[in-house]
Amino acid sequence: MASCHFSIVAFATLTTYSLALRCYQGYGNGNGNAALIHKQHCNVSSNYCVKATAIGVTVYACDADESIRNKCQSIGNQCVNKSKDGVTGTLCCCNSNLCNAAAILRPHIPIGMTAVVVTLLFL
């Protein structure tokens, strides 16, 4: 009986994980050169992959932060440009696997940088 319960839990976990959106996560310079990028399964609550560029940095992520998720829900599957206090940036949201394309894959970094770039310009 315990074996059956374990199998059901394992199946449910793997199914949820495999259905999660996959996005590139990390950062690079604004010229498209990815410094620290990796592919990641997002939380099941994530609906968008994000690519935000400002002040010479491009950040790739899932929409894990609520403010980013709300912004992506409002703009949909597209990119928007915005200027604030003399700084211009672009926020792109998309909702298919690995749609926030990155060039080079490297080790993991924290997603806090995404929130900083998006907050500076879009919130």
What pLDDT is recorded for position 36?
80
One-letter amino acid of 26: G
For residue 118, pLDDT over 90 is answered with no
What pLDDT is recorded for position 70?
93
**CA 19, 47, 80, 32 torsion: positive or negative?**
negative
Task: Show the domains of the chain with their CATH numbers.
Answer: 21-122 (2.10.60.10)
For residue 48, pLDDT over 50 is answered with yes
Residue 47 burial class via C-beta count within 10 angstroms: exposed 0-12, middle 13-18, buried 19 and up: middle
The average pLDDT across 46-67 equals: 92
What pLDDT is recorded for position 114?
52
